[in-house]
């Protein structure tokens, strides 16, 4: 698991399957990833243990994951209104104050803990949940092994009968989440795409806010 920016590199260089890559057409899936990475550590682990063996983060450099993370939180909240709340559609409670001190929500997040683990005084991740296994020479990329991975979910995903494709042998397979994540996925609200591909269901507060801004500026 990593933010989608690094998905193609993970696949091409490491020859490993990534949770997401540059093909970001499925907004709800990207929002699920953003919500998870910007959630509190235990809450994030409850999801990740059903999806991945490792988590990769990019930190301590220009345009690193912490710099991007308010954007991740906003994307997550655009589909999961319980993440920051309907009273904060743009997820302003997740980020840094002007003195570069993290907000409480940021400070508790998995992403912050993974990037700053043992780098900043008093910051560490629970290694019973995410075990640090690798940091590159200059400390820019860090990899953590997910502990207590669900073998039941891994077996379910690997079972061919749970693979949904548009035709037998097709390359186009939409993918499914393991049943253990059904409650999480049920919380998602449809995100209204600009192209009007996805207008069914209740809109999130974020979508309503963006549409209001567009109406006022037109």
Which of 9-13, 24-28, 154-158 shows the lowest per-residue confidence on average (mean pLDDT)?
Answer: 24-28
- pLDDT tens for 33-51 read 999 999 999 999 999 999 9
The percent of residues in the chain predicted with pLDDT above 90, rounded, is 64
Distance CA 112, CA 66 (A): 7
Give yes or no for residue 199 having a pLDDT over 60.
Answer: no
188 vs 218 pLDDT, higher one:
188
Stated pTM of the model:
0.87
Distance CA 56, CA 80 (A): 23
Q: Which tokens belong to 43?
A: 């809450």
What average pLDDT does the segment 96-115 reach?
95
Average pLDDT, the chain: 89
Report residue 195's pLDDT band, with 50, 70 and 90 as the boundaries: very low
Q: Which tokens belong to 105?
A: 């929500």
Q: What is the per-residue pLDDT for 29? A: 93
Give yes or no for residue 19 having a pLDDT over 70.
Answer: yes
Any idea of the CA torsion for 99, 105, 108, 114, to the nearest 10 degrees? -70
Residue whose pair of structure tokens reads 């020479």 in the numeric block = 137
- pLDDT tens for 49-98 read 999 999 999 987 767 999 999 999 999 999 998 999 888 988 999 999 98
Closest CA to 113 of 99, 131, 100: 131
What average pLDDT does the segment 155-180 reach?
85
Residue whose pair of structure tokens reads 């209204």 in the numeric block = 192
Report residue 204's pLDDT band, with 50, 70 and 90 as the boundaries: low
- pLDDT tens for 53-64 read 999 999 877 679
Q: How many degrees, rounded to 5, is the angle at CA 95 between CA 4 and CA 88?
A: 95
């Amino acid at each position: 698991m990593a933010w989608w920016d690094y998905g193609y590199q993970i696949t091409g260089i490491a020859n490993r399957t990534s949770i997401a890559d540059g093909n970001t057409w499925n907004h709800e899936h990207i929002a699920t990833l953003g919500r998870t990475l910007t959630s509190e550590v235990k809450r994030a682990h409850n999801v990740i243990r059903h999806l991945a063996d490792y988590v990769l983060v990019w930190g301590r450099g220009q345009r690193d994951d912490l710099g991007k993370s308010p954007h991740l939180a906003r994307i997550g909240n655009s589909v999961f209104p319980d993440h920051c709340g309907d009273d904060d559609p743009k997820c302003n409670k997740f980020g840094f104050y002007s003195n570069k001190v993290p907000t409480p929500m940021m400070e508790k997040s998995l992403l912050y803990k993974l990037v700053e683990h043992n780098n900043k005084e008093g910051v560490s991740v629970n290694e019973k949940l995410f075990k640090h296994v690798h940091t590159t020479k200059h400390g820019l990329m860090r990899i953590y092994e997910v502990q207590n991975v669900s073998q039941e979910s891994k077996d379910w995903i690997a079972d061919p009968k749970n693979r949904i494709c548009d035709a037998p042998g097709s390359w186009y397979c939409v993918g499914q989440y393991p049943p253990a994540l059904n409650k999480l996925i049920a919380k998602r609200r449809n995100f209204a795409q600009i192209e009007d591909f996805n207008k069914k269901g209740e809109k999130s507060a974020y979508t309503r806010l963006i549409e209001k801004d567009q109406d006022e500026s037109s």
